[in-house]
Structures are given as structure tokens and as C-alpha cells.
Amino acid sequence: MKHLKQGSFVLIDDIPYRVDKLQVSKAGKHGAAKARILVSGLFDDSLKKTVVGPGDTKMDVPIIEKKNAQVIAMVGANVQLMDIDDYSMTEVPISEEFKGKLQEGDEVLLWKFGSYTMIKSKK
């Protein structure tokens, strides 16, 4: 845990998080260092969590799949996207960052992890 850096990704309870803050405290003569990390959800910013544990605890890192996609249609608060590589269709909620900025035909970068999908940037 003590080798994590601010901004890195970590997997806690099968949910991907981004490390917002990391504190490592040195313990006494015979104790081990303790690490305290403050994390927020990678795909949902409302998920916030504090994890405290021994500094030498191993943490899992999520493998995030990054794909290019094209906007096919705007459906209410969602957007239909087509993967440029395999032409599969995906429907993703539009985040506050992209509301009013996406149009049909635009290319976007998708991040996927398990059942989580989000638009990361517009090309």
C-alpha cells in the first residue's frame, strides 16, 4: 500500500478507485508502518472510501480497457456508441463533463472495466 502514488488506480472490493491522498506513518520500534489512503470511485465520483492497513499490504490494480468509439445517437441522458474496431454497440450515460458537447459522428475514448463503462475524452 505504501508504494501507491496519488492518481494511481487500485481495486477494492472489485470496484476500481483512484487514489486521492496517501499518508504513511512510521510506527515504533517493533511495529510496522501504517498506510492510510483516501480513494474515490474511478467510474463514479460519489464513491469515496478511506482504507487503513499495514504499509506492506499488496493491492490489486484494475486492468482498464481503452477503446475508440463513435457516437451513433443521443438517447435522453444516454449516448449510443459503436466500437470502431469490432462495430459492437454500447449505451453509456453522459457525464456532466460531456453534456451538450457530444454530437452524432464524434469520436470518443472509452474506458471499460467489467460492467463499468465511461467516456474519458472526445477526439
Three-state secondary structure string covering the chain? CCCCCCCCEEEECCEEEEEEEEEEECCCCCCCCEEEEEEEECCCCCCEEEEEEECCCCCECCCCEEEEEEEEEEECCEEEEEECCCCCEEEEECCHHHCCCCCCCCEEEEEEECCEEEEEEEC
Could you state, in chain order, the average pLDDT of each consecutive group of 10 residues for the chain (123 residues)? 91 94 85 91 91 91 95 93 94 90 93 92 89
The pLDDT assigned to 3 comes to 87
pTM of the model: 0.82
Query: Does the domain formed by 9-54 have CATH 2.40.30.170?
Result: no
What pLDDT score does 29 carry? 76
For the chain, the structural domain boundaries read 9-54, 65-122
Instruction: Give the model's pLDDT for residue 1.
Output: 85
Q: Does 2.40.50.140 match the CATH number of domain 65-122?
A: yes
Q: What is the pLDDT of residue 107?
A: 95
